[in-house]
């Protein structure tokens, strides 16, 4: 597997000077990622692509080539195999092939099936690892590799690795991250497996999860003929670091659609559910929840307990948060000390509602940036609080940027004092809050689009903390 990420020399067969073609975007992404191993466009028409002369064939490249990316049509497979055969006879240096092209076994035609079989058999006979066909490719931000054709990726280093059976879901996630208020969500590795002719999702999960730079692993799965091995591989990772899985095919109709898409068996959903719980794997229900949970795990400490305080500047969103927190069934309101209540009363506007009910303070729209920051610090210092859900709404008279800078400073200072608790801000909403959310996220405090999404992320943190507490060391 390491051959896909640690290559000395990459050839892109089917490279194109047309920005609308995958063969162009793959080259552009490798350049944008900062790849330095030697990048060689292969196109029989010749010419120059992104300042690099294109070679007429793979075997005409003089320098070392460990990685080959295929973006030419599937019908070109016989010619490509001939080029690869000549290359291996002459240099023997190809270690891995990423086949981004579609039109193979997934289309269920005799030709597509035959092309996939011949490509797979050739790679196996020469000891070459094959990813795909019909995959989006791989990314390693730290090692500056990006063989995908996804436009607009932000190559920001982070601790999230993601393995997907769907290239489209992977692209959806990465493009959303690129548009984050901080200018990009950090991640480590990204793998899409496509038709799994050789490298499958199980091997990819084990590889990405074992990477020391991976702090949390995300997986999108439609199904597997070896469901037990898949769950066990993810469970082995979950012994030491969190794993979040978006498993689709929950309904009979969805299972049929998943089988049609990948040819994999979706399996009985209830069995997956129980197996995930047994192995400490967090199951999410949407791409949005997957993103929220991965970002929370990557940046926030696990809560020491289930006592949560809701600090809200707006009544309605605060009530939504109370409902969602109660519905989760694993939390209880944090009961703070009389000293904490007195300190909150002293720093907040007279109309603020403090601990009515317990674990809840509505500081009202009269609260400015200073009141937001001071009340948060008071709560984080209370030993009866394990986590804070922080909700505020943009108003013309609230300096959101000053509030965000203050929160970031408080969280960092308290961590230096040994007070490390998760703070999950829902800063509502839209472009009004983009600057303040960016300040928080750059400080390692993920923000959320709604109170409900913040609660679901906190529930994932708490669920994994409980699993780690139960599991024998």
Q: Side by side, which strands form the sheet with 216-221? A: 145-146, 138-140, 189-192, 160-164, 216-221, 243-247, 282-284
Q: Which residue has the tokens 């597509």?
A: 112
Q: Torsions phi, psi of 391, nearest 5?
A: -125, 130
Sign for the pseudo-dihedral over CA of 292, 293, 294, 299: positive
Whether the ω angle into residue 136 lies within 30 degrees of 0, i.e. cis, is no
Query: What pLDDT sits at residue 121?
Result: 98
User: Which pLDDT value is given to residue 446?
Assistant: 98
- What stretch of H or E contains 389? strand 387-393
Give start and end residues of each alpha helix (H) in 239-368: 252-262, 269-278, 287-299, 315-328, 338-347
Q: What is the pLDDT of residue 225?
A: 86
Number of H helices, E strands in the chain: 15, 20
Name the nearest CA neighbour of 407 among 380, 428, 382, 384.
Answer: 380
Q: Is 296 helix (H, G, I), strand (E, B) or coil?
A: helix
Q: Splitting the chain (473 residues) into consecutive groups of 10 residues, what average pLDDT does each group show?
A: 94 97 98 96 93 95 97 98 97 98 96 98 98 97 98 97 96 96 97 97 98 98 90 98 91 55 58 93 97 98 98 96 96 98 98 97 96 98 98 93 98 98 95 95 97 98 95 54
Which residues fall within 8 angstroms of residue 187, CB to CB, at 6 or more apart? 139, 141, 156, 157, 158, 159, 160, 161, 162, 174, 177
Half-sphere exposure of 286 (CA within 13 A, CB side): 6
Nearest to 24 by CA among 6, 8, 39, 9: 39
């Amino acid at each position: 597997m390491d051959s896909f990420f640690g290559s000395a020399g990459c050839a892109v067969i089917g490279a194109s000077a047309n920005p609308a073609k995958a063969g162009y975007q793959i080259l552009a992404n490798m350049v944008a990622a900062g790849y330095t191993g030697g990048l060689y466009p292969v196109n029989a028409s010749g010419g120059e692509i992104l300042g690099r002369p294109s070679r007429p064939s793979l075997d005409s490249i003089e320098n070392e080539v460990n990685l080959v990316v295929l973006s030419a049509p599937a019908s070109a497979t016989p010619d490509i195999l001939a080029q690869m055969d000549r290359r291996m006879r002459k240099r023997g240096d190809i270690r891995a092939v990423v086949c981004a092209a579609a039109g193979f076994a997934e289309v269920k035609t005799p030709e597509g099936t035959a092309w996939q079989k011949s490509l797979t058999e050739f790679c196996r006979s020469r000891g070459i690892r094959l990813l795909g066909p019909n995959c989006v490719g791989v990314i390693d931000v730290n090692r500056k590799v990006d063989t995908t054709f996804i436009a607009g990726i932000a190559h920001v280093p982070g601790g999230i690795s993601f393995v997907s059976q769907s290239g489209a879901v992977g692209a959806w996630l990465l493009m959303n991250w690129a548009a984050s208020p901080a200018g990009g969500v950090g991640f480590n590795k990204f793998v899409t497996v496509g038709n799994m002719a050789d490298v499958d999702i199980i091997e990819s999960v084990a590889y990405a999860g074992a990477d020391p730079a991976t702090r949390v692993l995300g997986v999108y799965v439609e199904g597997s003929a070896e469901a037990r091995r898949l769950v066990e591989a993810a469970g082995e990772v979950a012994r030491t670091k969190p794993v979040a899985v978006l498993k689709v095919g929950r309904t009979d109709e969805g299972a049929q659609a998943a089988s049609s898409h990948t040819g994999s068996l979706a399996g009985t959903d209830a069995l997956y559910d129980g197996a995930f719980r047994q192995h400490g794997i967090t199951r999410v229900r949407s791409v949005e929840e997957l993103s929220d949970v991965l970002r929370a795990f990557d940046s926030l400490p696990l809560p020491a307990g289930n006592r949560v305080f809701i600090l809200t500047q707006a009544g309605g969103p605060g009530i939504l948060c109370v409902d969602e927190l109660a519905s989760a069934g694993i939390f209880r309101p944090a009961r703070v000390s009389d000293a904490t209540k007195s300190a909150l009363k002293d720093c907040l506007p007279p109309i603020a509602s403090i601990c009515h009910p317990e674990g809840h303070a509505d500081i009202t729209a009269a609260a400015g940036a200073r009141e937001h920051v001071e009340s948060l610090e008071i709560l984080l210092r209370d030993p009866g609080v394990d986590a804070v859900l922080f909700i505020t709404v943009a108003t013309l008279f609230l300096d959101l940027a000053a509030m965000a800078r203050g929160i970031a400073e408080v969280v960092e200072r308290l961590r230096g004092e040994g007070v490390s608790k998760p703070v999950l801000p829902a800063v509502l909403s839209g472009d009004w809050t983009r600057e303040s959310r960016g300040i928080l996220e750059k400080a390692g405090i993920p923000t959320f689009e709604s109170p409900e999404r913040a609660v679901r992320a906190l529930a994932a943190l708490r669920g994994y903390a409980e699993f780690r507490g139960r599991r024998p060391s």
